[in-house]
Amino acid sequence: MSTVKEPWELGVMRSSGRRLAEVVAALKEAVVPGVTTAELDALAEARIRALGGVPSFKGYRVGRNVFPASICASVNNEVVHGIPGGRELHAGDVVSIDVGLIYGGYHSDCAFTVVLDGSSSEVARLLDVTRKSLYEGIAQALPGNRIGDIGHAVQSFVEPHRFGIIREYVGHGIGRLLHETPSVPNYGKPRRGLLIKAGMCLAVEPMITMGSYKTKVLADGWTVVTADGSLAAHFEHTIAVTPKGPEILTVLEGQDALN
């Protein structure tokens, strides 16, 4: 699969990303104490379909495992791929929501983490560092750079804070498929890896923990948790590499991507 998209494909990717940003904005408003993750999932699916999209994750298959929902909702020590259900969210919960849609045949993928009525400054710092590390990584998505430059930027931003950087799950190319080449790790060496070219579309997604980077998968076959039980955060945008630099696709028109 070619990793470089035609200009018309980038146009469709942009339309896809803007729609996903609308879904993300609705989810950010809806994630409050008392709501269940199944309710958030239903809201996301309804919004995706109302915007002419199809959920990327629902029916996504890895081997014999089929993901049953339109969002991943990962709470506290859950890192990614949590399955929405009857769990009610409470004040103090750290909630990561990952959502993807297909529009016009092209996927976009976006994630954010919030703490509900949070008072812990350490949790606030985890979220702040993870979110900022995403933008550090994205800033390196320049033509002529290499994939290792993205991971190196994330790693060198996060490590001084003594947080753990998940190794087993990484960002990815994105387009007609949810997961395309190349893999985009959140660690790496500068000037290593695949050459970045204009026209590439990437999902950059640091997953950071308050403890170790080690993970395990629960018996449901999907939910990834920290091996040491520490809290985790996850932020993600879908971007296009342009000759002028990275363009974040999963933003509302006119929105400052940093908010």
CB 153 within 8 A of CB 185: no
Q: Which is nearer to Mg ion, 72 or 127 (CB)?
A: 72
Give residues in contact with Mg ion (CB under 5 A).
109, 203, 205
Q: Which is nearer to Mg ion, 59 or 229 (CB)?
A: 59
Q: Which is nearer to Mg ion, 81 or 146 (CB)?
A: 81
Q: Which is nearer to Mg ion, 188 or 206 (CB)?
A: 206
| CA 145-136-31 angle, 5° bins | 135
Nearest approach, Cβ of 208 to Mg ion (angstroms)? Answer: 15
Question: How far is residue 183's CA from residue 65's CA, in Å, rounded to a whole number?
Answer: 21
Residue 224: strand pairing partners: 80, 217
Coil, strand or helix at 31: coil
Q: Which is nearer to Mg ion, 161 or 179 (CB)?
A: 179
Q: Which is nearer to Mg ion, 41 or 205 (CB)?
A: 205
CB 158 within 8 A of CB 113: no
Question: How far is residue 112's CA from residue 137's CA, in Å, rounded to a whole number?
Answer: 15
Q: Which is nearer to Mg ion, 57 or 213 (CB)?
A: 57
Nearest to 40 by CA among 116, 119, 124, 128: 116
Amino acid in the structure at residue 150: I
Nearest approach, Cβ of 172 to Mg ion (angstroms)? Answer: 6
Nearest approach, Cβ of 183 to Mg ion (angstroms)? Answer: 11
Nearest approach, Cβ of 109 to Mg ion (angstroms)? Answer: 4
Kind plus residue range of the DSSP H or E element containing 79? strand 78-80
Amino acid in the structure at residue 201: C
The number of helices, as runs of H, and strands, as runs of E, in the chain is 4, 17
Q: Whose structure tokens read 């969002």? A: 71
Nearest approach, Cβ of 236 to Mg ion (angstroms)? Answer: 5
CB 249 within 8 A of CB 259: no
Question: How far is residue 44's CA from residue 244's CA, in Å, rounded to a whole number?
Answer: 33
Nearest approach, Cβ of 182 to Mg ion (angstroms)? Answer: 13
CB 159 within 8 A of CB 206: no
Nearest approach, Cβ of 92 to Mg ion (angstroms)? Answer: 26
